[in-house]
Amino acid sequence: MSEWTTIVGLEVHAEMLTATKMFSACPVVDSVAAAPNTAVDPVSLGLPGTLPVINQQALEYGMMVALALHCDIPPYNQFARKNYFYPDLPKGYQISQYERPLAVNGYLDIELEDGSSKRIVVRRAHMEEDTGKLTHVSDGSLVDYNRAGVPLLEIVSEPDIRSSAEAEAYARKLRAILQYLGVNHGDMSRGVLRFEANVSVMHKDDTAFRTRTEIKNLNSIRSMVRAIDAEVARQIKLYEKGDRVIQATLGWDEAAGKIIIQRYKERPDEYRYFPEPDLPIVEVSREWVARVQAALPELPDARRARYVQHLGLTAYDARVLTLEKPVAVFYERLLAEGVNAKSAANWLTGAFFSLLNEHKWDREQIDTAPVSAAHLAGLIKLVEAGTLNHQTAARKVLPEMWQTGQTAADIVQAQGLAQVTDSALIAEKVFNALFGSIMKSLKGGGRPDVVKQVLLEKLDALK
């Protein structure tokens, strides 16, 4: 047992993918696909004389997430100016929320690999606007304001997370909830969902938390896990040498697998927050909350329970199949194709996931895999009909389907892989095999007609 415990609190920024920005009618576009600075307007550029208007849909999306996280929604929330200068922030301040956030005091239940579950408290969730995006090139930096003003929900957990595995479970579950709600597609490589990990360690004799550091710019869940592990190791090493950990903002170099110290934070940041004078206080009526609550779609926990109770899946399979929405959608397509629920689960979590792993294909992208749900269903049906044995199907036909894009039926036919089910043909093969083996044991001395006669009599007697 180590003397040290990992302490993590996560801050998550999730863009709310509304049609328009947080404070204007400027469209929200895919920040990777769209040409830079094509989705901008005077409000998102922060031009003098412009006035923000609150996007009600964005607030409602934020409320959906907050309710899915069991938060309380206070009757009033209020925007505030967070003042700082940075080239991706043209106004010189970000409109955020401070003293009166949209939501407080929720929780997220995570499931761990050993089957146990744990509750992580969500301290608050508040609405704000995203900043622009900077790209550093050899002779300067480029700024793209397409992302400036995109609605952003910041979700802050308590430091309840005790390992990188728990952080991973929290991140995956939260991403699944956003996907199920349809407010964010969860593609971290496109920057729509960003995690920041606050990390400290606690010695077994400690009675209070120690200094934390904050790791930013984590662009995949895998990076987050690696970064937390590296930072925990770094902190323990410092303490064991008799040094101290200095509060700092850190980055993560994925290629080098290293923590980078970006800046030390000896004093807290001073943002000179004050209530945003250009926006009214938002009143959230109880009717509105009830309406949003009633319209929430089926969420991962409910779907997982349904798979166990109504489809008879194991708790493990139900969890794996519901944790990424695209996987759940793929699974339900197999069911819609008429595949039995349990064999669909076995095939998907077994042979199909192995194939995805082998090709380093992200499960999030399962819907664009070379083998579609309809094609996989076709394969499973051939096995269930007895045309193909399981092993040939999983080890030979499925990989070929992946390579060629052909259906299972085409491959089976082209390569003569079908199992023989014609009983007359099988009986003939059995007879010939027995006959041959008797002749062989008589070392060529048996009279074929007599052997044949005796064999037929004996087989007849078995009927």
Query: Measured from the CB atom, is 10 or 366 closer to ligand ADP?
Result: 10
Verify binding: residue 305, ligand ADP, rule CB under 6 A. Answer: no
Q: Smallest gap, in angstroms, from Cβ of residue 334 to ligand ADP? A: 39
Query: Measured from the CB atom, is 90 or 159 closer to ligand ADP?
Result: 159
Q: Which amino acid is at 210?
A: R
Query: Measured from the CB atom, is 31 or 235 closer to ligand ADP?
Result: 235
Q: Smallest gap, in angstroms, from Cβ of residue 158 to ligand ADP? A: 5
Stretch that binds ligand ADP, among 87-95, 154-162, 302-310, 406-414 (CB under 6 A): 154-162
Q: Smallest gap, in angstroms, from Cβ of residue 93 to ligand ADP? A: 18
| CA atoms of 268 and 42, how far apart (whole Å) | 32
The binder of ligand ADP chosen from 30, 158, 254, 337 (CB under 6 A): 158
> Which segments within 73-159 are labelled E, that is strand?
76-77, 79-83, 93-97, 103-111, 117-129, 133-137, 140-144, 151-157
Instruction: Report the site for ligand ADP in 203-222 (rule: CB under 6 A).
Output: 209, 212
The binder of ligand ADP chosen from 55, 200, 235, 349 (CB under 6 A): 200
Q: Is 211 helix (H, G, I), strand (E, B) or coil?
A: coil
The binder of ligand ADP chosen from 11, 30, 88, 187 (CB under 6 A): 11
Distance from chain centroid for Cα 201 = 27
Query: Measured from the CB atom, is 162 or 390 closer to ligand ADP?
Result: 162
Stretch that binds ligand ADP, among 3-11, 179-187, 288-296, 375-383 (CB under 6 A): 3-11
Stretch that binds ligand ADP, among 1-9, 106-114, 349-357, 385-393 (CB under 6 A): 1-9
Verify binding: residue 199, ligand ADP, rule CB under 6 A. Answer: yes
Let me know: does 400 contact 376? Beta carbons within 8 Å: no
Residue 99, Cβ neighbours under 10 Å: how many?
Answer: 10
Verify binding: residue 232, ligand ADP, rule CB under 6 A. Answer: no
Let me know: does 181 contact 64? Beta carbons within 8 Å: yes
Terminal Cα-to-Cα distance of the chain (whole angstroms): 67
Verify binding: residue 101, ligand ADP, rule CB under 6 A. Answer: no
Q: Rg of the chain over CA atoms, in angstroms?
A: 30
Let me know: does 181 contact 175? Beta carbons within 8 Å: no
| CA atoms of 272 and 93, how far apart (whole Å) | 10
Verify binding: residue 198, ligand ADP, rule CB under 6 A. Answer: yes
Verify binding: residue 91, ligand ADP, rule CB under 6 A. Answer: no
Which distant-in-sequence residues (6+ apart) come within 8 Å of 170 by Cβ? 10, 108, 110, 120, 157, 161
The binder of ligand ADP chosen from 101, 106, 149, 159 (CB under 6 A): 159
> Applying CB under 6 A, what is the total number of residues that bind ligand ADP?
14
Q: Smallest gap, in angstroms, from Cβ of residue 121 to ligand ADP? A: 9
Helix ranges (H only) for 312-447 are 315-322, 325-336, 341-347, 353-358, 373-384, 390-392, 398-404, 408-415, 423-441
Verify binding: residue 156, ligand ADP, rule CB under 6 A. Answer: yes
The binder of ligand ADP chosen from 97, 131, 157, 322 (CB under 6 A): 157
Q: Is 37 helix (H, G, I), strand (E, B) or coil?
A: coil
| CA atoms of 458 and 17, how far apart (whole Å) | 76
Verify binding: residue 96, ligand ADP, rule CB under 6 A. Answer: no
Query: Measured from the CB atom, is 183 or 215 closer to ligand ADP?
Result: 215
Closest CA to 117 of 385, 315, 392: 315
What are the residues binding ligand ADP (CB under 6 A)?
A: 7-11, 156-159, 198-200, 209, 212
